Amino acid sequence: MKEKKILSVTDQMNLFCFYSGIAWLIGGIVLFFDGIIFTIIEILAMLAICITHIVVMKAKKEQQDELSIKNYHTARSHALSIMHVIYMIILIVLQVITAIPANVTMSIEIKDMLIPAFFISLGIEYIIVGFLFRKYERDGEECIY
Protein backbone atom coordinates (compact mmCIF):
# COMPACT_ATOMS: atom_id res chain seq x y z
CA MET A 1 0.00 0.00 0.00
CA LYS A 2 1.27 3.43 -0.93
CA GLU A 3 2.15 5.65 2.02
CA LYS A 4 0.58 9.12 2.14
CA LYS A 5 2.91 12.06 1.65
CA ILE A 6 3.28 14.17 4.79
CA LEU A 7 2.08 17.72 4.23
CA SER A 8 4.56 20.23 5.69
CA VAL A 9 3.32 23.20 7.71
CA THR A 10 4.30 25.55 4.87
CA ASP A 11 2.45 23.42 2.32
CA GLN A 12 -0.60 23.34 4.61
CA MET A 13 -0.60 27.14 4.78
CA ASN A 14 -0.04 27.46 1.03
CA LEU A 15 -3.04 25.24 0.31
CA PHE A 16 -5.25 26.60 3.05
CA CYS A 17 -4.44 30.31 2.67
CA PHE A 18 -2.81 31.17 -0.65
CA TYR A 19 -4.54 28.80 -3.04
CA SER A 20 -7.96 28.94 -1.45
CA GLY A 21 -7.56 32.73 -1.05
CA ILE A 22 -6.89 33.09 -4.76
CA ALA A 23 -9.93 30.89 -5.49
CA TRP A 24 -12.11 33.06 -3.18
CA LEU A 25 -10.83 36.17 -4.97
CA ILE A 26 -11.48 34.77 -8.46
CA GLY A 27 -14.91 33.52 -7.37
CA GLY A 28 -15.82 36.99 -6.11
CA ILE A 29 -14.59 38.82 -9.18
CA VAL A 30 -16.45 36.59 -11.65
CA LEU A 31 -19.69 37.09 -9.69
CA PHE A 32 -19.79 40.61 -11.13
CA PHE A 33 -20.23 39.20 -14.65
CA ASP A 34 -23.04 37.30 -16.32
CA GLY A 35 -22.73 34.39 -18.69
CA ILE A 36 -22.13 30.67 -18.70
CA ILE A 37 -18.33 31.00 -18.84
CA PHE A 38 -18.30 33.12 -15.67
CA THR A 39 -20.70 30.72 -13.96
CA ILE A 40 -18.40 27.80 -14.80
CA ILE A 41 -15.37 29.72 -13.48
CA GLU A 42 -17.32 30.54 -10.31
CA ILE A 43 -18.23 26.87 -9.78
CA LEU A 44 -14.63 25.80 -10.40
CA ALA A 45 -13.41 28.38 -7.88
CA MET A 46 -15.87 27.08 -5.27
CA LEU A 47 -14.77 23.50 -5.96
CA ALA A 48 -11.13 24.55 -5.60
CA ILE A 49 -11.91 26.10 -2.21
CA CYS A 50 -13.63 22.91 -1.04
CA ILE A 51 -10.86 20.68 -2.36
CA THR A 52 -8.03 22.69 -0.77
CA HIS A 53 -9.77 22.69 2.61
CA ILE A 54 -10.59 18.97 2.43
CA VAL A 55 -7.02 18.10 1.39
CA VAL A 56 -5.60 20.03 4.35
CA MET A 57 -8.12 18.48 6.76
CA LYS A 58 -7.67 14.87 5.56
CA ALA A 59 -3.95 14.83 4.70
CA LYS A 60 -1.26 13.37 6.87
CA LYS A 61 0.28 16.53 8.29
CA GLU A 62 3.55 17.56 9.83
CA GLN A 63 2.99 18.45 13.47
CA GLN A 64 2.98 22.18 14.08
CA ASP A 65 5.39 23.45 16.69
CA GLU A 66 4.78 26.31 19.11
CA LEU A 67 6.45 28.84 16.84
CA SER A 68 4.37 27.95 13.77
CA ILE A 69 1.18 28.13 15.86
CA LYS A 70 2.26 31.52 17.23
CA ASN A 71 3.14 32.73 13.72
CA TYR A 72 -0.26 31.60 12.42
CA HIS A 73 -2.16 33.39 15.20
CA THR A 74 -0.03 36.52 14.75
CA ALA A 75 -0.62 36.44 10.98
CA ARG A 76 -4.41 36.08 11.50
CA SER A 77 -4.39 38.96 13.98
CA HIS A 78 -2.42 41.26 11.69
CA ALA A 79 -4.56 40.27 8.69
CA LEU A 80 -7.67 41.24 10.63
CA SER A 81 -6.18 44.66 11.40
CA ILE A 82 -5.20 45.14 7.76
CA MET A 83 -8.73 44.18 6.66
CA HIS A 84 -10.20 46.75 9.06
CA VAL A 85 -8.03 49.45 7.49
CA ILE A 86 -9.11 48.33 4.00
CA TYR A 87 -12.80 48.43 5.03
CA MET A 88 -12.38 51.93 6.51
CA ILE A 89 -10.71 53.20 3.32
CA ILE A 90 -13.55 51.74 1.24
CA LEU A 91 -16.15 53.37 3.52
CA ILE A 92 -14.37 56.74 3.33
CA VAL A 93 -14.24 56.55 -0.47
CA LEU A 94 -17.94 55.63 -0.62
CA GLN A 95 -18.82 58.54 1.70
CA VAL A 96 -16.85 60.97 -0.46
CA ILE A 97 -18.39 59.64 -3.68
CA THR A 98 -21.94 59.86 -2.34
CA ALA A 99 -21.34 63.35 -0.89
CA ILE A 100 -20.25 64.83 -4.23
CA PRO A 101 -23.25 66.14 -6.13
CA ALA A 102 -23.34 64.76 -9.63
CA ASN A 103 -25.69 64.73 -12.56
CA VAL A 104 -25.25 60.99 -12.90
CA THR A 105 -26.60 58.91 -10.08
CA MET A 106 -25.01 55.62 -9.21
CA SER A 107 -27.54 52.91 -8.60
CA ILE A 108 -25.95 49.82 -7.12
CA GLU A 109 -28.03 46.94 -5.86
CA ILE A 110 -26.78 45.87 -2.46
CA LYS A 111 -27.49 42.19 -3.13
CA ASP A 112 -25.45 42.38 -6.34
CA MET A 113 -22.48 43.71 -4.37
CA LEU A 114 -22.76 41.80 -1.09
CA ILE A 115 -21.92 38.26 -2.22
CA PRO A 116 -18.99 39.26 -4.48
CA ALA A 117 -17.67 41.55 -1.73
CA PHE A 118 -17.86 38.65 0.72
CA PHE A 119 -15.87 36.38 -1.62
CA ILE A 120 -13.30 39.06 -2.42
CA SER A 121 -12.75 40.13 1.20
CA LEU A 122 -12.32 36.51 2.32
CA GLY A 123 -9.88 35.93 -0.51
CA ILE A 124 -7.83 38.98 0.41
CA GLU A 125 -7.81 37.98 4.08
CA TYR A 126 -6.66 34.42 3.31
CA ILE A 127 -3.90 35.69 1.02
CA ILE A 128 -2.71 38.21 3.63
CA VAL A 129 -2.63 35.50 6.32
CA GLY A 130 -0.65 33.20 4.03
CA PHE A 131 1.79 35.95 3.09
CA LEU A 132 2.34 37.06 6.70
CA PHE A 133 2.70 33.47 7.95
CA ARG A 134 5.38 32.74 5.35
CA LYS A 135 7.13 36.00 6.22
CA TYR A 136 7.14 35.20 9.94
CA GLU A 137 8.32 31.64 9.33
CA ARG A 138 11.10 32.83 7.01
CA ASP A 139 12.31 35.76 9.13
CA GLY A 140 11.99 33.95 12.43
CA GLU A 141 10.46 36.98 14.05
CA GLU A 142 7.21 38.80 13.80
CA CYS A 143 6.89 42.02 11.92
CA ILE A 144 5.39 44.81 14.01
CA TYR A 145 3.82 47.66 12.11
Q: Please report, for the chain, the start and end positions of each structural domain, with discontinuous segments joined by +.
A: 9-139
Residue type, 114: L
Which residues of the chain carry a pLDDT beneath 50?
A: 145
| Amino acid 68: pLDDT | 84
**Average pLDDT along the chain:** 83
Residue 7: beta bridge partners?
A: 61
| Amino acid 26: pLDDT | 94
| Amino acid 11: pLDDT | 84
Angle of the 66-99 helix axis to the 110-139 helix axis, nearest 10: 140
10 in Cβ contact with 130 (< 8 Å): no
